Amino acid sequence: MSDTTPPMIDEARLAHLRSWIGKSETTSDLLTAAPVRGMSATLDREDADPAAGMPIAPLWHWLYFLPHARQSEIGADGHPTRGGFLPPVPLPRRMWAGGRLAWESGNPLAVGQSVERVSTIRSIEHKAGRSGELLFVLVEHRYSNASGLALTEEHDIVYRAAASPGAPQPGPRKPPLDGQAMWSRRIVADDVLLFRYSALTFNGHRIHYDRKYVTEVEGYPGLIVHGPLIATLLLDLLRRNLPRAVVRGFSFKAVRPTFDLDPFSVHGRLRADGGAVELWAQDHEGWLTMQGTAELA
């Protein structure tokens, strides 16, 4: 953002947006078997058919509590129009930047349960960087079943200014454990995989399936692989290699967009003490795209 370009979010608008801090909503959902079956197929797993009482795999709770905005309420980017629970941020590009999750011991979310989710906006922060304005919204979700609290999640959403020609981009980073992976898996994020994940999560965001929109309007070179999908693939790598492990906590951060133009890879390494697994994703050039840590029970 140049010195002569007025900010889209001035002090008055920021104060208005911050009036959403503390806003809360409560929703409920039934954890049915069909989404679990669909996710298993999408991740190319050979899982048993889901039955009542089967624990929901880590991050697969994202298959539930989906937004169901009416078609007339969908904005130009495919998301529901802004306002309501989330603040009406004027910056056009919206991404899931990361999160932190903690599962309660002995009380897993499971197929067949009725679950309540209480969502609260905890903070709203505005920054101006080399690539333009940024607004960070932190949302906390608390999931409870009949036995009480089962999962607490913090969800980081970042809103960005529209792309401009020649705008500086963040420099690429090598993974901190480059060349030290215990497990690796190559992922081909083709149009079908992105479509299936969008369908499973009822995600209409056009950056994941509309190539004309994502390249001509938002200025990206290709379709963007969902951040939650990459995070799910990281924990899926852990499950494939440590099938008996119980994940009690997971934190992750998106570092760099991943596009459908080339395959990418997910990697993991068990810490020497056995108490956690370092996980990361790399693009086809080896640059870090997501980094996470899973804490084991």
**Per residue in 276-292, pLDDT tens?**
999 999 999 999 999 99
| pLDDT range class, residue 49, cuts 50, 70, 90 | very high
d(CA 52, CA 31): 9
CA neighbor of 62 nearest in space, from 43, 75, 45, 49:
43
Residue 168: its pLDDT value, please?
60
User: Higher pLDDT residue, 130 or 204?
Assistant: 204
pLDDT at 186 over 80: yes
Residue 203: its pLDDT value, please?
92
The mean pLDDT of 135-162, rounded to a whole number, is 96
Residue 67: its pLDDT value, please?
86
- Sheet architecture: strand order including 183-187: 24-30, 114-129, 132-145, 148-160, 93-103, 247-254, 288-296, 276-282, 264-270, 183-187
d(CA 149, CA 60): 17
d(CA 35, CA 46): 15
pTM for the model stands at 0.92
Q: What is the pLDDT of residues 202-259, one digit of tens each?
A: 999 999 999 999 999 888 899 999 999 999 999 999 999 999 999 999 999 999 999 9
The mean pLDDT of 168-176, rounded to a whole number, is 80
Average pLDDT of the chain to the nearest whole number? 92
Residue 1: its pLDDT value, please?
47
Lowest mean pLDDT among 117-121, 174-178, 189-193, 263-267: 174-178
Q: What is the pLDDT of residues 63-114, one digit of tens each?
A: 999 988 888 888 888 878 766 789 999 888 888 899 999 999 999 999 999 9
| pLDDT range class, residue 171, cuts 50, 70, 90 | confident
The mean pLDDT of 156-160, rounded to a whole number, is 93
- In degrees and rounded to multiples of 5, residue 119 shows phi and psi of -110, 135
The mean pLDDT of 116-128, rounded to a whole number, is 96
Q: What is the pLDDT of residues 14-31, one digit of tens each?
A: 999 999 999 999 999 999
